[in-house]
Amino acid sequence: MMTKDRPLTVKIVYSDRLKILKLLLTVVFSTLVFSIQIFPSNPDNANASSSNNISNPNDNFTPIFSYKIIDVFPHDPEAFTQGLVWEDGFLYEGTGLYGDSSLRKVELETGKILQLYQLSDDFFGEGITIFKEKIYQLTWKEQIGFIYDADSFQLLETFSYSHEGWGITHDEKYLIISDGSPVLHFVDPLTFQEVKQVKVHDRQTPVYRINELEYIKGKIFANIWQTDLIAIISPESGEVFAWVDLSDILENVNIKINQPIDFLNGIAYDSLNDRLFVTGKWWPVIFQIEIIERPE
């Protein structure tokens, strides 16, 4: 785990293996951009735009936004991040992999793990959300979710669902769950009955591999697995308002990477201070970013 004793002062060094991975990701990214019909944004709309002030999409294209790094914080490079939430001054993180899945309370400034609940080796942990002082955590293929007391991490109960579990958030009324398909499932948090589905699409094209979710001022922010993209989605229609392209974000900080890293995954929002955080699986840092329109 990274702490202040390991300063981020060394230039990025990629192994040959990571260089190959980076090249493959570039190919995957380019293919996905073409397949989901992302078009360049309008040069007349090149002013900076807050992540919480996304307007309706233009009729002719889906805007692509870029980012500005505001701050960088240490992150446990052994955390296979599946879910990320900000609550009352702390980050809460769900990690995955069989035999290594956990629920964590983390101090942002140091990356220190303040509280830890280890899942059974039989479960692959996925997304988390906090709703009414309870933490909800999904599992991948086991079709079982866990509910914890947000303060003590005491396991209170479990719930079930009939699909894979990927990401989860809420809109103050329903739990919103992704399963890797274009479908978002809206679930009653008391009965755990599904009340509706919304299919995510960019214009007429379905968007697949929807992963970690965060509900931010009336819109759903979603990582798209195996890409550096975040989709900003209407929870009513499933329409993608805009894309956020976080390509090469790790290359913007001075840090030595001497172990494998995985894909971008993890979105958390501090509503009190209007701060947006992102990270990835096995990433050694968490970024605070501002979303901006990209001039073309």
Q: Is residue 223 part of a domain?
A: yes
3 within domain boundaries: no
6 is a domain residue: no
Could you tell me the CATH number of the domain that includes residue 175? Answer: 2.110.10.10
DSSP string, 195-219: EEEEE-EETTEE---EEEEEEETTE
CA diameter of the chain: 53
47-91 pLDDT tens trace: 333 333 444 445 568 999 999 999 999 999 999 999 999 999 999
Residue 136, domain member (yes or no)? yes
| In-domain check, residue 94 | yes
What is the per-residue pLDDT across 12-57, written as a single tens digit (0 to 9) for each? 333 333 333 343 333 334 334 433 333 333 322 323 333 334 444 4
Has residue 45 been placed in a domain? Answer: yes
Please count the structural domains in the chain. Answer: 1
Domain residues for the domain of 267 are 16-293
- Listing DSSP states for 147-197 in one string gives EEETTT--EEEEEE-SS----EEE-SSSEEEE-SSSEEEEE-TTT--EEEE
Residue 10 counted as domain residue: no
Q: Which residue has the tokens 């059974």?
A: 120
Contact 172, 158 (CB under 8 A): no
In this structure, is residue 11 part of a structural domain?
Answer: no
pTM of the model: 0.80
